[in-house]
Amino acid sequence: GYQYWLQQDTLFANATLPLSELIRYAYSSMLAGNLTRAEEALEQRKLHFPGYDSTWVQAHAFYSYFTEENESAIAQYKSLVKLYPNQTDYLLRLADLHVRTNKTNKALDYLQEAIKKGFKGYYVLNYNPLWQEQRNNHRFKELIKEITPSNL
């Protein structure tokens, strides 16, 4: 779990954490609420790998999402969708970000695309507070209907 990576603080502080581990360390720091440390790890990775490899883009997108830097996160997730067009998690993040920024139609477009590509996360959507205001939206209800388990 992420607790192991948080124990790597000393290695990171002394700049001896292997570059391959910087992404895991950044994620773990984010999950623990240490956004400063996460950002430092992402910047270290960027210094040593100036090209945007997909791992770095994923981490930066998650960081932007996590810190509610919505426009940056939207741009990062759009680039990930181009790289991985069938990855429904990225489409769902884009939907979440558009709901968060009150762009309901765009959010529902991304949600529809995610469902079309196999997203089945009824419980993820039905209980996600970001979607609370959309629960009475006709289009949202229709999309939810497509992924509602048969036993409900």
Give the distance from CA 74 to its chain's centroid: 10
> How many Å is the maximal CA-CA distance in the chain?
55
Phi-psi region at 29: left, alpha or beta (left = phi > 0; alpha = psi -120 to 50):
alpha
Amino acid letter, 52: Y
What is the reported pTM? Answer: 0.69
Cα separation, 16 vs 35, whole angstroms: 20
In tens, the pLDDT along 110-149 reads 999 999 999 998 888 888 888 999 999 999 999 999 998 8
Answer for the pair 102, 70: CB distance below 8 angstroms, yes or no: no
Q: What does the block give as tokens for 101? A: 């920024």
The predicted-structure confidence for 77-95, as pLDDT tens digits, reads as follows 998 899 889 989 889 989 9
